[in-house]
Chains A and B, each alone.
Chain A
Amino acid sequence: MIISFSNVVPAFLAGTTALKSEVWGADFSLPAGKSVLVKAQSGKGKTTFLSYLFGSRTGYNGKIAFDDKDIAGLSTDSWSDLRREKVSMVIQDLRLFENLTVRENLEAKLKLNGQVPFAVAQKMLQALGLGEFMDRECRTLSLGQQQRVAIVRSLCQPFKWLLMDEPFSHLDEQNTAIAMQLIKERCAANGAGYIISSLGSEHHTHYDIVLNL
């Protein structure tokens, strides 16, 4: 699935030139299966950029297309289908169900289309050092642990693009490296690409495309 941007500017910035960047107001494409880093300081619109691609925000001028299909006209149902099959995301505020256990949080995703076995999720969780926390309520976990649960959850479904909004902001280097490894493995298995937004760090990874916001 090719993502293409054509002269996209957030509506609230339209008419100003202040935010002209490699993303806003530019024409570019992100070919299928590529790794992309979106680098910017705080407040430059990293979350906005990813939210447009995830359909959780609208309100921009210009055109964003998936495989030449304009995403502006997609219905809520089409977006649900896309999120279930093609686009997964680690949202910056994680959006876990705090009163549900880690297992229940993962099951909410696993049961949606049943294509990823529970054992795979369990293995990823163990790799990230959370094997023993399966039946703990998420609110009892630290922010870093919650971030790892959110990353694993985003990998528990088929996808063509994985969007991650500062996914490692609360992780140490070791856990970041393990998470990055898992992400690359799942993306390779799915034939998918990923987009990571970051304040600057490249997480010791080589990216096919780097966009400066």
Chain B
Amino acid sequence: MNFRKLFLKHTRTWQLMLVSIGAFAGLFLLWLPVQIYVDITDALAKQKDLISNQYFIVNKGVSLVNTLGFSSGGFTTEEMLKLKAKPFIKDMSAFTPNRFGVGAAAHLKEKVDVYTEIFLESVPDRFIDQMPPEWHWSPRSSYVPVILPAEYLDLYNFDFAPGQGLPQISQGAAKLFPFELLVRDGTDSVHAYPAHIAAFTERINTILVPQSFVDYNNEEYAIKPYEAPSKLIVEVSDPAAFSKYVDSTGIKTNSDYLRTGKVQSLSKRLLLLIMVLTGLVVFLSIGSFILFSNLLVARSEYEIRTLVLLGYRYQQVGGTIFRFFAWLVGGATIAAVLLGLLARYFVLKYLSSIVDVPSLLPGLEALGCLLLLATAYLAITYNSIMRQTKRIALPF
């Protein structure tokens, strides 16, 4: 059967182009977003440890009530247990603050000694990101290791030192700088502990000393009674859920880090919206494809009936017409895969600057979607063509 001469004589090239592009667009738009969605999900899953298990420091916020001294703003045991029970909290601990008087003293140069009142805190070792090897203390230790926030040194180097005409200090140099911690118990006696900076941390924004040091001195030299802890450190497995929880309660956190979690969930939702719109395009594309095949069969009624009267079975005639559409869908599928791979390459190249990208090979999920849609095109078209050719083949 000369398909082109028999069945395409009523069809204009631009109509054929349009319907091919429509099929291509449907397949392409379905495949690519699914593939990229899978890529992003994979990439994020890979980084789960990096992104998902984040540490946050939470407090209850400061209000006028705290300022006036009516409330300490601390967490009660009940509140802490309730928070710890949340599924997105992997680990949690309170900060232990110093309840003794403490200051830091250093000898800068001859006849120049500096002294400042400071505060100390400790957390269990498992929450410390930059654990120095000498991170322990006992009353017999020769010095106290201290962990400072890297921010403090930055503040000195980039804000304080330039203004005062002082030299900048590297982290390495700062660690060599000896000073003393002077602990007071409210009487005249002062206990001096040699100390030095053991590490800088990005995680915890406070001056940290080993838990044993705070515990020992609180025991021996406390001048304030025990208060409910005002700061907690939490390890969070699902930042998005944690973010939601923080928003719904009165507690505060160092929320800058939380925004990444919010951006993640927002971008996922945006992608979902794109997929819904894609679904619409796919639906329209299938619709126009079927309309076109219907039109082609309807316009070829004379040819189909004549072939049937010559002795062809309607399935033979319908099959010839269907094969044409199968080639069309096949071509559109191959074009969609090739162009999709190309587009994906550029998207991944862009993404690689943000996250670790997965392999360049397309995933089976997205290809499966594509094949499923291509099969749907073919199945619906086959059904429609066969039904129509049979109707035309029937006697009057």
Chain A residues with CB under 8 Å of chain B are 51, 54-59, 76-77, 79-81, 83-85, 89, 91, 95, 97, 99-100, 104, 108-109, 112-113, 153, 157
In the complex, the answer to whether A100 meets B314 with C-beta atoms within 8 Å is no
Residues on A with beta carbons closer than 8 Å to the beta carbon of B395: 51, 55-58, 79
Residues on A with beta carbons closer than 8 Å to the beta carbon of B315: 77
B394 touches A (CB below 8 Å): yes
24 A-B Cβ contacts within 8 A? A51-B395, A58-B395, A76-B393, A77-B313, A77-B314, A77-B315, A79-B395, A80-B312, A80-B314, A81-B313, A83-B308, A83-B310, A84-B312, A91-B309, A95-B302, A100-B5, A100-B6, A104-B2, A104-B5, A108-B1, A112-B310, A112-B312, A113-B311, A157-B311
Given B2, B6, B9, B390, which contacts A76 in the complex, CB threshold below 8 Å? B390
Q: How many residues of B are in contact with the other chain, CB < 8 A? A: 22
Q: Tell me the complex Cα distance, A55–B309, Å.
A: 9
In the complex, the answer to whether B314 meets A76 with C-beta atoms within 8 Å is yes
Q: Tell me the complex Cα distance, A163–B6, Å.
A: 25
B356 touches A (CB below 8 Å): no
Task: List the 6 shortest-distance A-B pairs measured between CB atoms, nearest first.
Answer: A84-B311, A83-B311, A80-B313, A95-B306, A58-B395, A76-B393
Chain B residues with CB under 8 Å of chain A are 1-2, 5-6, 9, 302-303, 306-315, 390, 393-396
B306 to chain A, nearest CB (A): 5
- Chain A residue with minimal CB distance to B6? A97
Residues on A with beta carbons closer than 8 Å to the beta carbon of B9: 99
Residues on A with beta carbons closer than 8 Å to the beta carbon of B310: 83, 108-109, 112, 153
In the complex, the answer to whether A58 meets B313 with C-beta atoms within 8 Å is no
Residues on A with beta carbons closer than 8 Å to the beta carbon of B1: 108
Q: Tell me the complex Cα distance, A58–B308, Å.
A: 16
Residues on A with beta carbons closer than 8 Å to the beta carbon of B313: 76-77, 80-81
A33 to chain B, nearest CB (A): 21
In the complex, the answer to whether A54 meets B309 with C-beta atoms within 8 Å is yes
Residues on A with beta carbons closer than 8 Å to the beta carbon of B2: 100, 104
Residues on B with beta carbons closer than 8 Å to the beta carbon of A97: 5-6, 303, 306
Q: Tell me the complex Cα distance, A113–B1, Å.
A: 13
A79 to chain B, nearest CB (A): 8
Q: Tell me the complex Cα distance, A19–B308, Å.
A: 31
In the complex, the answer to whether B396 meets A80 with C-beta atoms within 8 Å is no
Residues on B with beta carbons closer than 8 Å to the beta carbon of A153: 310
Residues on B with beta carbons closer than 8 Å to the beta carbon of A59: 396
In the complex, the answer to whether B311 meets A89 with C-beta atoms within 8 Å is no
In the complex, the answer to whether B309 meets A56 with C-beta atoms within 8 Å is yes
In the complex, the answer to whether B396 meets A57 with C-beta atoms within 8 Å is yes
In the complex, the answer to whether B6 meets A80 with C-beta atoms within 8 Å is no
